[in-house]
Structure 1
């Protein structure tokens, strides 16, 4: 589900989960271990196999699995995203195609985003599901003043607009070499100094997560599991299939 290769001192992690790298329980559960396995690498590049970086949560699994699946899935989603967000070494997202909803949050959890094609955005509100605390705070950290627009409009931004608002750091048609160059440049800093800088930069996000997670996430899980939400998701999936 997550393939690992080496490019010099950089570990390249490639999500390989079906045609659009949809986020399901198994893929998310694999993330912490995959990152732990490359802890000794100078830097990490995260990308997707095929035409998508990740099209986001596998909503069909949410509908088919019901509340019991949601109860496992949402904690795994937050754990995977925190593992990426908190990885001490440089992490570069090589966004090779659409990065939507949870896929966008995965890219946002990386230190730098390099993009070659597709669209990017958090489309949760279009599907009718709320954000757990961790993904919301990762987006707030990465998107800054643009986060209201991204979350509330659920826009799918072309890469040029994502670059303009600062969600993406570099546009390129030569994705992997550009991502590796970024990773190697970041890895030039002493490892312990880089790790501390990341901790300092992410401290406000972690403070907000600590303040809100226990209060908000039970209600988020209840909404994801609600029959009305399940019906909305079925309609959303039907509209996607009809396109």
Structure 2
């Protein structure tokens, strides 16, 4: 059985310490193996390197299937580098959302081979793929934003509404920060199969994925299929700022009305206690 040990076609650096390496275990099957120590955080450098690698495959190689996976056994991706995200001007729209839109509308089938943990933004990145295969022996999928106090931005929530088969699964992922192992994730429809490189190649063959991009409309079909999330990624910052502003104003008005009701209740309670 073919594996990802085939000869590298090209490599794209991730900063000074990492890389995205493309190999071709079978005709029209491309593995993009990213390694950005220690845990594949979604930095601007990581996002740019991944987009560049996807561009090279699209414009320089025959159409086929792209598999993304990690060269770090413990992690597929541990999510955003929050410090980098906060301190990098334009990070959301120019780096992260650019990568996510590229993945979501890529004109070839994309498979995320989740070899280890995929937390927060790492899980979101996997959800931007068409299919997900997960290591059945180790690793968890988790949105732990509720644990460290980070709200979801609109595209982040939208991709789970688009792709999860049931809203109660989204509730469990988001509000309970449940850590799904591979079997649980498969049962809930978060992933599409179990295994490693060999099983992923078998999945590609069984699904006939290498021929799907030949007609030239694969990416356009995905743009329409996921149009709400695509729109949010494209409009990015402007939509989020407007949405955040309206939410803040609505919350302030509610707080004002709520405090008024509490004070009225307190006043009424004191009056009753004097009777």
Unmatched 5+ residue regions in structure 1?
Answer: 221-243
Shift of 1:95: 0.5
1:142-172 deviation digits (Å, cap 9, x = unpaired):
2242223212222221111111110011112
1:198: Cα distance to partner?
2.2
SS in 2 for 1:2: strand
Question: Is the aligned partner of 1:115 residue 2:115?
Answer: no
1:95 counterpart (89, 111, 114): 114
Pick one of 87, 96, 101 that aligns with 1:68.
87
Change (3 A) 1:208 1:79: closer
Query: Normalising to structure 1: TM-score of the pair?
Result: 0.78
Alignment match, 2:268: none
Q: Is the 8 Å Cα contact of residues 124 and 130 (structure 1) preserved in structure 2?
A: yes
CA distance in 2, matches of 1:122, 1:110: 17
* Corresponding position: 1:199 with 2:217: no
User: Is the Cα contact below 8 Å between 1:4 and 1:12 reproduced in 2?
Assistant: yes
Map 1:160-239 onto structure 2 (within 5 A).
Answer: 160-172=183-195, 175-184=196-205, 185-189=208-212, 190-207=214-231, 214-217=238-241
Report which structure shows greater RCO (CA 8 Å, sep ≥6). Answer: 1
Displacement of 1:210 = 6.4
- C-alpha RMSD over aligned residues: 2.5
Q: 1:22 aligns with which of 29, 41, 51?
A: 41
Per the TM alignment, residue 30 of structure 1 is displaced from its structure 2 partner at its CA by 1.7
Query: Does residue 137 of structure 1 match 2:158?
Result: yes
Specify which structure has the higher proportion of helix: 1
Distance 1:67 1:197, change over 3 A: closer
The answer as to whether partners of 2:108 and 2:219 remain within 8 angstroms in 1 is yes
TM-score, normalised with respect to structure 2: 0.70
Partner of 2:23: 5
Matched residue count: 214
Distance in 2 between residues matched to 1:201 and 1:66, nearest whole Å: 29
Partner of 1:231: none
Larger radius of gyration: 2
Contact 2:29-2:65 within 8 A present in 1 as well: yes
